[in-house]
Amino acid sequence: MKGSALASGAPSARFTSATGRSEFVNDLMTQTSFFVKKKYDIDDEAYNQYVNDLQNDIAVPELVPVSVVVPISSGAAQEIEQEPAPLPTPKPVSYYEGEPFGDNLLIERVEKEHSSQLVIPDSLKGKSEIGYVKSIGDKVKKVKVSELVMFDGFAAHGADVDLIDEEGTIRHYLLLKEHDLLLKLKKVIHNE
């Protein structure tokens, strides 16, 4: 960093590591009173007190600059407005949940596992016929939410639905009629 940037009080200047003094103490020792008062937004009385404390080896508190002041060659100083830091962009707080009507169900497909060593492109993979029930309509009688079901993969009236979850991720679902379900699946553990 150039000396002119350090002397101007650039925000990235770090005097403590270079001189063993804080930026504020360095400015008190090297800059004009007008410069220091503008940069740290202090009045004449506070400035005189800090200079007096410094001369008498009394600890001076570290002040944080409130504006960037650039010295002009005539000995005066010019204040430059410092732009505030941009606020972080919040995550979306709204998301979509599907609540089917009548005998419709919202199904989240489960990917099929392939046991072969062949790499099969996504376009050639068949659509899964197994999924979890995410939501049900008020006329559904035979299944409940979160059950694993097998459904007719060639159901002509099924609809693909994309919904956004609470994390802002798009999730893919299938909207089916209850009569398209073939069976409920249960995990059975067999101990030998």
pLDDT at 59 exceeding the cut of 90: no
Inside any domain, residue 89: no
Residue at 97 is within a domain: no
Binning pLDDT at 50, 70 and 90, where does residue 55 land? confident
Q: Looking at residue 16, what is its pLDDT?
A: 47
**pLDDT given at position 2:** 44
Residues in the chain: 192
State the average pLDDT for the chain: 74
Lowest mean pLDDT among 5-19, 139-153, 156-170: 5-19
Q: What was the pLDDT predicted at 12?
A: 43
Does pLDDT of 15 surpass 70?
no
| 93 domain residue, yes or no | no
Q: What is the CATH number of the domain that holds 148?
A: 2.30.33.40
How does pLDDT run across 91-111, given as a tens digit for each residue? 656 667 778 888 888 888 887
- The pLDDT, as a whole number, for residue 120 is 54
Beta pairing, strands 68-71 & 77-80: antiparallel
Whether 27 maps to a domain, the answer reads: yes
Check whether residue 11 and residue 71 sit in a common domain: yes
pLDDT score of 115: 52
**Residue 50 to residue 60: CA distance in whole angstroms:** 6
Asked whether residue 161 is domain-assigned, the answer is yes
Chain-centre distance for alpha carbon 72: 42
pLDDT > 60? residue 26: yes
pLDDT at position 18 is 55
The answer to whether residues 63 and 108 belong to one domain is no
Round the CA-based radius of gyration of the chain to a whole number and report it.
Answer: 35
Contacts 24+ apart (CB under 8 A), 127-130: 127/153, 128/153, 129/153, 129/182, 130/185
Domain that holds residue 151: 104-185
User: Does 30 fall in a domain?
Assistant: yes
